[in-house]
Amino acid sequence: MKTRISITIFLILSAKLLLAQEAKDTSDLYFRHLELDQVVITGLTGDSRLRETPSPVSVISPLTLQGTASSNIVNAISREPGMSALTTGGSISKPVIRGMGYNRVVVISDAIRQEGQQWGDEHGVEIGGDAVNSVEILKGPASLMYGSDALAGVVIFHPAPIVPPGKMKARLSSEYQTNSGLFHYSLNYGGNINGVVWDAVFSDKYSHSYRNSVNGFVPNSAFHELSANAMVGLNRKWGYSRIRLSYFHLTPGIVEEESDNTGYVPGLPFQQVYHWKAVSDNTINLGPGRLKAIIGFQQNHRQEYEEDPSEYELYFLLNTLNYDIKYIADLAGGWKLASGVGGMFQHSRNFGEEALIPDYSLVDAGLFVTASKSVGNWNFSGGVRGDLRFMSMDVRKRFSGFSASLGAVYNISDAVNLRLNFARGFRAPNIAELSSDGIHEGSFRYELGNLSLVPENSLQGDLGLDFSSAYISGQAAVFYNHVSNYIYLAANGGQAEGMPVFSYYQGNARLFGGELSLDVHPIHRLHIGESFSYVNGRLYGGEYLPMIPAPRLLSEVKWEFTHDGDHKFLNNAYAAIQLDWYMAQNHFYGPAGTESATPGCLLLNFSAGTDIVIKGRKWLSIYFIADNILDTAWQNHLSRLKYMGFYNMGRNFTFKLLFPLL
């Protein structure tokens, strides 16, 4: 096959590499990781400094996201240590934290948990990346804060911060990727006048089929993504009130070997996915603390067209009402307390000729209380939570769970922190695990649910150490997670309607591993970065768990030519080269051919970028990223297309332009 040459501009500004830079933008100052006491995250008892948080947390800054080339927002964060993505081509990706994904990861967007029928392999995250300013990743059981499904952790997509009083902002951005012909543009406008705040983002993205050196074009991997977000609110001394609205529309092609479609318009079969959301986000200052009340409604439409572009075969309609009400207080003696209730009401219906899952209703409620206190160099935090979930389908099901967390951080010095945390998590079986019965066309298999499934419960311990100095900074974390009644999907060796049959099983499992990241800057402008992630998952006395990511090592050398404060025409100019090593994954679930081993691969990447500054004002930011420069043929162990014989994307050049208009 012909080697297809493509050019990519890519900026991989690792958060840890950018932390040493001076920044004029207040959002950049907000994410300086060298000063851990300045980094504020979502803690058990409200906003907390990172150095006070015992559980492992990663924060991805706005600059890192701006300088990253990806086809969707989940891929953009999948290089963070401990993170990976389950992918179906370029348009659909699901977050995986320390080897667990699907309904074990809660995604928060617009202040509420995203509900988009995430039980399906080819059901991605319905969030436009241009509305995301920064990302917070909580690794490990977070059921205490977010209830059922946060067994592996939480991904929080934060919107842009409110514009300073009396200011307005506007930005136009565009992006082009050579491999898939991806063209992407977005427009953002926001302001803050007399306490009236607003923000709006519009984004449009097109891509034809991607290609690699083995398959050439991967047929029908094209997609079109359209998204819009708006926020309007009022800031006052008593607190604030905001209304957030969002719309997301994705049209992805479903890759099939028989297809010959490689253009921008997906051919049959394809999906139409629509997601609407409205959220009321309110905070009222009350007594020694504040009352937060968040109410949201979201609606997810998922249609699949197989033989006729005007007639859907599958049509799932999901309505979800979310609520989260809590009181957060700073009390005498250094105590911080938070308590509240949260949950959702959910109803799903089928309108297609085929139905993989039955119609169902769900009621979910949780009650929690958390506390934290600092004593000398120690910071302690913990809490308890109880959850109830009722599901009504062909039968009625009731699930209950108990979650708890207890942890401590010891600030050995201003530069070194030791963390220890123990957490118990809870997850109820989802509708597909309980009741699926039919052909899952997007996954090319016949799925059988299991009504006898019981909730998963996890007990995880985390130990971490982070340090920073003028010349070196790093983080190290190890974990061990015991999950009782772990639910997994595997081939049972049978056939139904020409498809292999997959059934849901349950057993006790353990996962262990860790992450390591290091940034060495021996001289002012040179940064040498390393990050490593590893997870091992296995059923007790049995097989390895399915869908466990391969060990991964990323190495980067970056040179900063100029940065803020130099007042030059080319400001914040840099160049970086990266080696991305996916090691071989030989620990796989093999019975009945469910999975196979995946060989390792080494990818060579390059990135460069700069701001154009004229008379002290930034007029333009330019990024160039070259991914997989050697056009290496490779397969990710978490790529669903691997089992159809398709490889991941080959050489790709990305060009990215950001124009500040106001």
Q: Does the pLDDT value for residue 24 go beyond 80? A: no
Instruction: Give the pLDDT score at 40.
Output: 65
pLDDT bracket for residue 565 (50, 70, 90): low
DSSP class of residue 114 equals -
Q: Are 300 and 272 within 8 A, CB to CB?
A: no
Dihedral in degrees, nearest 10, Cα atoms 204, 273, 78, 170: 30
Q: Domain limits of the chain? A: 15-660
Q: Which of 140, 132, 108, 141 is nearest to 322 (CA)?
A: 108
Query: What average pLDDT does this structure show over 619-626?
Result: 95
pLDDT bracket for residue 361 (50, 70, 90): very high
Instruction: Give the pLDDT score at 498.
Output: 85
pLDDT tens for residues 85-144? 999 999 999 999 999 999 999 999 999 999 999 998 889 999 999 999 999 999 988 888
Q: Are 205 and 184 within 8 A, CB to CB?
A: yes
Instruction: Give the pLDDT score at 266.
Output: 95
Q: Which of 173, 283, 160 is nearest to 230 (CA)?
A: 160
pLDDT bracket for residue 43 (50, 70, 90): low
Query: In the block, which residue shows the tokens 């298999």?
Result: 445
CA gap 644, 636 in Å, rounded: 13
Mean pLDDT estimate for the chain: 90
pLDDT tens for residues 581-594? 999 999 999 999 99
According to the CATH classification, is domain 15-660 in 3.30.1370.10? no
Instruction: Give the pLDDT score at 7.
Output: 29
**Residues in contact with 410: Cβ distance below 8 Å, sequence separation at least 6, in sequence order:** 377, 378, 417, 418, 419
Structure tokens at 258: 């028989």
DSSP class of residue 80 equals S
Q: Does the pLDDT value for residue 51 go beyond 90? A: no
Q: Does the pLDDT value for residue 26 go beyond 50? A: no
Q: Are 301 and 330 within 8 A, CB to CB?
A: no
Query: What average pLDDT does this structure show over 266-277?
Result: 96
- Give a three-class secondary structure readout of 189-233: EEEEECCEEEEEEEEEEEECCCEECCCEECCCCCEEEEEEEEEEE
Q: Which residue has the higher pLDDT, 322 or 10?
A: 322
Structure tokens at 517: 């990241």
pLDDT tens for residues 54-74? 888 889 999 889 888 899 999
Instruction: Give the pLDDT score at 656.
Output: 96
pLDDT tens for residues 322-360? 999 999 998 888 899 999 999 999 999 999 888 889 999
Query: What average pLDDT does this structure show over 383-400?
Result: 95
Proportion of the chain above pLDDT 70, given as a percent: 92
Instruction: Give the pLDDT score at 457.
Output: 95
pLDDT tens for residues 208-250? 999 999 999 999 999 999 999 999 999 999 999 999 999 999 9
Q: How many CA atoms lie within 13 A of 88 on its CB side?
A: 20
pLDDT bracket for residue 44 (50, 70, 90): low
Number of CB atoms found within 10 A of residue 347's CB: 15
Instruction: Give the pLDDT score at 5.
Output: 32
Query: What average pLDDT does this structure show over 24-53?
Result: 54
Query: In the block, which residue shows the tokens 């950049």?
Result: 28
Query: What average pLDDT does this structure show over 192-215?
Result: 97
pLDDT tens for residues 447-475? 999 999 999 999 999 999 999 888 899 99
Q: Which residue has the higher pLDDT, 292 or 332?
A: 292
pLDDT tens for residues 633-659? 999 999 999 999 999 999 999 999 999
pLDDT bracket for residue 22 (50, 70, 90): very low
pLDDT bracket for residue 18 (50, 70, 90): very low
**Residues in contact with 342: Cβ distance below 8 Å, sequence separation at least 6, in sequence order:** 146, 147, 322, 323, 324, 325, 326, 365, 366, 368
Give the three-state DSSP class for 477: strand
Instruction: Give the pLDDT score at 50.
Output: 76
Instruction: Give the pLDDT score at 566.
Output: 62
Q: Which residue has the higher pLDDT, 10 or 400?
A: 400
Q: Which of 163, 165, 145, 161 is nearest to 153 (CA)?
A: 145
Instruction: Give the pLDDT score at 122.
Output: 85
pLDDT bracket for residue 622 (50, 70, 90): very high
Give the three-state DSSP class for 129: helix
CA gap 190, 244 in Å, rounded: 13
Instruction: Give the pLDDT score at 567.
Output: 62
CA gap 518, 283 in Å, rounded: 38
pLDDT tens for residues 472-490? 999 999 999 999 999 999 9
